[in-house]
A and B are shown apart, each in its own frame.
Chain A
């Protein structure tokens, strides 16, 4: 369970860092950086789903 909380914390960080990067760096770094953070979030969300909460019919 602690692993899931760890992964969820990283996902939360991916959200929190978005405005921080925009404020601190701006420009293209923020534009593509936001997309990268969103991809990390997405990969972790699917990892948690498939690894810990997989549903069989």
Chain B
């Protein structure tokens, strides 16, 4: 998943399909004494878990139309191009990948999440037990919106399409694993212009079986298969660029109309069989998306409950979030909680080589001030770990044992009373300026002398992603593509990922011990890997402190009073439309 930008770039770039495990099954592995791992019962579900129908939502009933308000139209609905959480959440109504996440609402209000088979009967078979060959068998009775059967060859064709340069906007995981190369389409460029309909490394056996063979182990394949890359596309229905507006349905809803930039209407797909689907419902008769409503208008319309059948993926207008947060009546009609994103202060370890200075920054930083300047509690919870609480195996710890507001005196002691001069770069926005001033003032109490450098907000990530940048620390966000440390720690803290430009490891952290540990964990089955990532998280923070975790990004949005079944999906970090119904 992408870094999260301060403004609209987030909407376009932040990818999704992250999960979160939220059942709080305390299972102390003895690795730490100030926290426990919060894992789900079982990260990966069974064939039994993959069977439909999905358990009814409490009070769920059929009928009516739910209207979603949204600023911009979905840039993409083509399964080869979808990579943004709200696009995925909507696409989830229209088509089905090989695997998916089953979120079960528990009586205590928490959510249990498991990866289950969606089109496949289970989350995949690790044929050689070394994660190099993955086999998926399709369920019986799967049909498209025209009643024709869904075949394994259509999934292969869908994956093949993702190799096309025209589909570069989508995730690249499976293509890169199949090609065994980051430059995945240097030779095979998809099924167009005479290219093979089945990509290299994929084999189809009859109508039901599809196998992926990789050169190296990829134990995360069941999670990558939950991305829309594995959704079926029948070759005869491939309308190329037009497919991006009206994809062919294999899910509970099909597109009745889609007027770009104006509105989209989904109606029931009568050929979808709930007994084949373990996660989706088909409560409303239809969904209507209305585009063009900005965050202020959306907030006001939902706040006044103008139409009680309305919902949105958008957050609450930041200017009104504090007031809405403290209004009990409105809070009842809201979803709130952590998403997969985490905000960090990245310390440029190429320049700040003294680990005690990095630790002192962690100790002195006033995270409450940062939270307040970002809109208070709705902006997110104070963070202390690299991994978000939505990650499997997440372990709550604080490597420095300081209060959220920091401890400047303790930091001063660590610095030996000397003054340390550092440069802080920030995106030049009103909020960015306020945060910069606060950081300068707060860190001065610990003896830091901070020089502030404003950077053009549009170029901010290019600047901090440049290995040769001249700044000592700066803020960025990151969210994982699936709920494992493998999509957080390697992309952001593995020194081998560092290039001259466009770095996500913007702390430029390159440590031999950590790299060895990453290699070891990557070869483990995911269930074993999950707590190991959390241990590595703790080790990195305790021994090397390359970042200061600031906030676990918060989602906070409203919905109409007649909407039932709303919860914050740990998969997408927004409301899950597939569970919604109208109460009356």
Q: Do A and B belong to a common assembly?
A: no
